[in-house]
Amino acid sequence: MENCIFCNIASGRTQARLIYQDEDIAAFKDLNPQAPTHILIIPVKHIASLSEAAEEDALLLGKIQLTAAKIAKELGIKDFRLVANNGKGAGQSVMHLHYHLMAGRRFLWPAG
């Protein structure tokens, strides 16, 4: 989708500090990290938010979670938080589905 920053990153039109890429998924460092490790994991396909995902995306959503675990393992990270903000009211600022993989500090619960 044009004018979507994460579509542009996934297609290589916009540069990012890529951690992982395949035909379905891209992962790159967050521009404004909120933890020592802060990586965004996105589907290459434009899905605005988790609310917009469909049954046909089930495999893709599962693959994103498995990729998060794989990236963490490769980085030697045992404890991490995986977060998807869904909707502006929940803090979503980029309307292309993304999961925050965060690690390296203490996280509070419940999340703020």
Q: How far is CA 78 from the centre of its chain?
A: 18
Q: Given the rule CB under 6 A, which residues bind ligand AMP?
A: 5, 16, 28, 30-32, 40, 85, 91-94
Question: Is-catalytic flag, 96?
Answer: no
Complex with ligand AMP: residue 28 or 72, whichever CB lies closer: 28
DSSP annotation of 51: G
Complex with ligand AMP: residue 39 or 72, whichever CB lies closer: 39
Helix (H) or strand (E) holding 7: helix 5-11
Q: Say whether the peptide bond before residue 110 is cis (omega within 30 degrees of 0).
A: yes
Where does this chain bind Zn ion (CB under 5 A)?
1, 4, 6-7, 46, 96
